[in-house]
Amino acid sequence: MTLMLGYMLGMSATSGYKMEYNISFDQARHYINVELNVTFQQPANDTHTLEMPVWAPGYYMILDYPKNLSDFKATTPDGQTPLTWTKTSKNQWAIDVRQTGFKVTYRIYANEHSVAESRVENDMAFIAPNGVFMYLDGDKQHEVTVSIDMPAGWNKASTGMKPAGQNSGPRRTFIAPDFDTLFDSPILLGNHFVTQFTHEGHDYEFAIETPDGLSETTFIDDFKRMVSQTTRLIGHVPYDNYCLIHLGAGGGGLEHLNSQACYTSGSYRFESRSEYLRHLSFVTHEYFHLYNVKSIRPFELGPFDYSRECYTPLLWVSEGFTCYYENRILLQAGIIGADYMLNDLSSSIRTTETSEGHRHMSLRQSSYDIWLNFFNHSENVISYYDKGPILGLLFDIELRRLTDTGRGLDDLMRLLYNRYYLQLKRGFTEQEFWQAAEEVAGSSLAHLRRYVDTTDEIDYETLLTPAGLAIDRNNWQLHKIDKASRQQEKLRKAIIGS
């Protein structure tokens, strides 16, 4: 059985061409068959280059998507006459065009259990668009219309892309304004569980491959509480609709501008409350990324160069602060208590401080070198997923200490969001981040920057005491100070609520 999928990129008055993708799935063999039709407004007499990404934003590893591509062919629009083409790099194909358009066909092998790679099965398909679609001559600004012809037995098509008109029956149509949006919109196809609802003026779709036990949890209600708290924190919602895609048993999650794609344990039957809360923290982490990395972002992370690594020294902010907020948001929403948050932060401290790597790699370097260390867990490295949330806590305490709890990390995140995302519509540089942080603090933060830029040992006692917190260096466990002063209790309440 095959699944036909049509992609129409509308004619652009500025670019002078339109593109139409037609996709069919060879489900038994895990292939995506791609047909691309390009039509020019005026007859072409030139060489045009198609380019495929080699990585996916948020997944800081070169995946070399073209390795899955085979059987590339270029012909005249009617498919009858072969055209001359040359592969000019690992992800570029130059085609000699002498008329009003051309047709390209190729196949993508899709059999990976990864949130950044595609998978095709007999009863479902997960499409990671970066590894399937090409843009023309470096132009990523075309509007993209996605039309899907559903096979018998497949009645669900879920993605963050907006639907076009009535979206039911055997044909489904979605629209993305450009290739950046297309690449940021994974698609789940099949007969999976779907529930839709509106919350605080925005539309949500949950698309879950293995929903076993979902109805016996408070997950949907807790998700709504989390979203409400995040909205109160930032003060703005950057999307109209949001799609949560949860796949079956596996590992990993990937954030997108108005969606997330995560593997799960294959069930919502959790063995304990703690296991459920870990899952909810994971979902919150990916959700908060739509602010902290998609909107509040380092300058290097967009517009993207999909052909090579995009280095930034600030992933400790994008990922590390998000690890801090995944529990802070749940705490403020009343879903977890202070002890849960302290225990989770203690785990981050313990992992960092008992690793030999913290003596050899700075937090800043761990951000820049993630392209070398995405799955490297050797003793000479550290992870910003572990040390980053420690700095999130220390930032929150210091900002509140310096401003007598008048301002904290929340205020810094709002400043970055409003100034750089909403007003300047760009990312921030490393210098601009530190300037914004010191603007909130009203003071120099050089003492904190030292713990980012160097491998100096953190003076936990000095930094934690103002918040009525202490660390047991025998097991690296955070705990509350007994008989804290009124000022310490005030700051501690602002941080952990008690």
Residue labelled with tokens 């390795």: 67
What is the chain's Cα-based Rg?
A: 24
Shared domain for 252 and 137, answered yes or no, is: no
Final residue in a domain of this structure, among 249, 272, 287 = 287
Which residue, 404, 389, 412, 413, is CA-closest to 491? 404
CB 50 within 8 A of CB 38: no
Shared domain for 271 and 295, answered yes or no, is: no
Shared domain for 325 and 348, answered yes or no, is: yes
Give burial (CB, 10 Å; 0-12/13-18/19+) of 168. Answer: exposed
Which residue, 100, 87, 133, is CA-closest to 18? 100
Final residue in a domain of this structure, among 188, 214, 242 = 188
Along the 498 residues of the chain, how does pLDDT read in single tens digits? 434 444 333 333 335 888 888 888 899 999 998 889 899 988 877 899 999 999 999 999 999 999 999 999 999 999 999 999 999 999 999 999 988 999 999 999 999 999 999 999 999 999 999 999 999 999 999 877 777 777 778 899 999 998 887 677 787 778 888 999 999 999 999 999 999 999 999 999 999 999 999 999 999 999 999 999 999 999 999 999 999 999 999 999 999 999 999 999 999 999 999 999 999 999 999 999 999 999 999 999 999 999 999 999 999 999 999 999 999 999 999 999 999 999 999 999 999 999 999 999 999 999 999 999 999 888 999 999 999 999 999 999 999 999 999 999 999 999 999 999 999 999 999 999 999 999 999 999 999 999 999 999 999 999 999 999 999 999 999 999 999 999 999 999 999 998
CB 109 within 8 A of CB 31: yes
Q: What is the DSSP letter of 481?
A: P
Query: What phi and psi, each to the nearest 5 degrees, are found at residue 130?
Result: -55, -30
Shared domain for 41 and 134, answered yes or no, is: yes
Q: What is the DSSP letter of 111?
A: B
Question: Burial code of 247-264, b = ≥16 C-beta within 10 A, e = fewer?
Answer: bbebeebbbbbbbbbbbb
The count of structural domains within the chain is 3
d(CA 335, CA 329): 9
Shared domain for 173 and 200, answered yes or no, is: no
Shared domain for 364 and 226, answered yes or no, is: no
Angle at 204 (CA atoms; ends 155, 165), nearest 5 degrees: 55
Q: Is 78 helix (H, G, I), strand (E, B) or coil?
A: coil
Shared domain for 105 and 199, answered yes or no, is: no
Residue labelled with tokens 């070169």: 62
d(CA 155, CA 259): 20
Question: What sign does the CA torsion over 455, 461, 467, 471 have?
Answer: positive
Which residues make Cβ contacts (< 8 Å) with residue 103, sequence separation at least 6? 35, 36, 37, 38, 74, 75, 76, 77, 78, 79
CB 2 within 8 A of CB 25: yes
Shared domain for 314 and 381, answered yes or no, is: yes
d(CA 139, CA 319): 30
Final residue in a domain of this structure, among 287, 309, 330 = 287
Within 313-375, strands assigned E span: none
d(CA 119, CA 127): 7
CB 31 within 8 A of CB 108: yes
Structural domain boundaries, residue 173? 4-188
d(CA 352, CA 358): 6
pTM: 0.95
Query: What phi and psi, each to the nearest 5 degrees, are found at residue 110?
Result: -130, 95
For the domain that residue 36 is a member of, what is the CATH number? 2.60.40.3650
d(CA 231, CA 333): 11
Phi-psi region of 99 (alpha: psi -120 to 50; beta: other; left: phi over 0): beta
DSSP 128-142: -GGGT--EETTB---
Shared domain for 367 and 489, answered yes or no, is: yes
- In the chain, what is the straight-line distance between the N-terminal and C-terminal CA atoms, in Å? 59
Residue labelled with tokens 């790699």: 361
